[in-house]
A and B are shown apart, each in its own frame.
Chain A
Amino acid sequence: AQSVAQPEDQVNVAEGNPLTVKCTYSVSGNPYLFWYVQYPNRGLQFLLKYITGDNLVKGSYGFEAEFNKSQTSFHLKKPSALVSDSALYFCAVRDNTDKLIFGTGTRLQVFP
C-alpha cells in the first residue's frame, strides 16, 4: 500500500536559516507526491506537487521540494525561513484509488 512517512514531529529553525522538512514515501509505480501546510484553525493549503519531470519542484511562498527516487524521498526546503512559516506541514502521496494519503505531519517552528 502507498504510504508516506514524516520522521520528525517537530523541526526548529532560526529565522533566516535554511529549513528542511523530511518525507519518505513507499509506492508501487510512479509516485504522485504533495506538500500541504496547515496554519492554526485553518484547512490545509496546497504548496506543491511532483507528478513527473524535474526533480526540483518549486511551489508557493518560496518553498521547493526535491524528489529523490533512489532514496524514495521528497523533502520540503526553503533557503531562508520566516517566522510566518511556522505551521504544520503534511506530505501526501496519491494511492492506487486516486485519493491522497497523508503523513502524520511535522510542526515547523521558526524562531526570531
Chain B
Amino acid sequence: DSGVTQTPKHLITATGQRVTLRCSPRSGDLSVYWYQQSLDQGLQFLIQYYNGEERAKGNILERFSAQQFPDLHSELNLSSLELGDSALYFCASSVDAGGYGYTFGSGTRLTVV
C-alpha cells in the first residue's frame, strides 16, 4: 500500500455521462497530481494542486475539472464522456510542490461504452 488511495478502482459508464474520481493523498503530502494513462499516449499530466490551490495545468480537456479540498483529498470530474476517455487515471502525491518524486495510487480504470 503506497498510502495514496484512489476510488473507485474500476468504473464503467456510458458515453455522455459524468463521473467523479477520488484521491486521498499520502498523510502529510500537500501536492496532488492527476495523470491519464492510455495505451497510445502514455502518461499524460492533467493537473496539479498544492495545498488547495491549482498549481499547474497540462493537457486537460475542458470537459474535465478537478479540485483539492481543505482535507487535501482531490476529485477529478469527467463529463460528457467519450469512448476515447477510456483510460487509467492515476493520482500521485508529494510532500511539496517541488517535483522531487511522487507516490502514486493504484489508479482508476475508466471504461466508457
Over the window 55-76 of chain B, the binary record of Cβ atoms lying under 8 Å from chain A Cβ atoms (1 yes, 0 no) is 1101000000000000000000
Q: Which residues of A contact B92 (CB under 8 A)?
A: 43-44
Interface size class of B (residues with CB under 8 A): 20 to 34
* Stretch in contact with the other chain, from A11-19, A20-28, A74-82, A94-102: A94-102
A46 at the interface (CB under 8 A from B): yes
Interface size class of A (residues with CB under 8 A): 20 to 34
How many CB-defined contacts (below 8 Å) exist between A and B?
58
Known: A43-B2, A43-B4, A43-B90. A101 touches B45 (CB 8 A): yes
B105 at the interface (CB under 8 A from A): yes
Over the window 45-70 of chain A, the binary record of Cβ atoms lying under 8 Å from chain B Cβ atoms (1 yes, 0 no) is 11001010000000000000000000
In the complex the two chains form, is B105's CB within 8 Å of A43's CB?
Answer: yes
Q: How far is the CA of A41 from the CA of B88 in the complex (A)?
A: 9
Q: How far is the CA of A86 from the CA of B104 in the complex (A)?
A: 19
Interchain nearest-CB distance for A61 vs B (Å): 15
Most buried by A among B42, B58, B99: B99
The residue in chain B whose Cβ has the minimal distance to the Cβ of A42 is: B106
Known: A43-B90, A43-B107, A105-B42. A98 touches B98 (CB 8 A): yes
Q: Which residues of A contact B101 (CB under 8 A)?
A: 34, 46, 49
**A to B CB contacts below 8 Å, 26 in the list:** A32-B100, A34-B101, A43-B2, A43-B90, A43-B92, A43-B104, A43-B105, A43-B106, A44-B102, A44-B104, A45-B104, A46-B101, A51-B100, A94-B100, A97-B56, A99-B48, A99-B56, A99-B58, A99-B99, A100-B99, A102-B35, A102-B42, A102-B45, A103-B42, A104-B42, A105-B43
- List 11 additional A-B contacts (Cβ < 8 Å) besides A43-B106, A49-B100, A100-B99: A32-B99, A42-B107, A43-B2, A44-B102, A45-B2, A90-B43, A94-B99, A98-B56, A99-B33, A100-B45, A105-B42
Residues of B within 8 A of A (CB): 2, 4, 33, 35, 42-43, 45, 48, 55-56, 58, 90, 92, 97-107
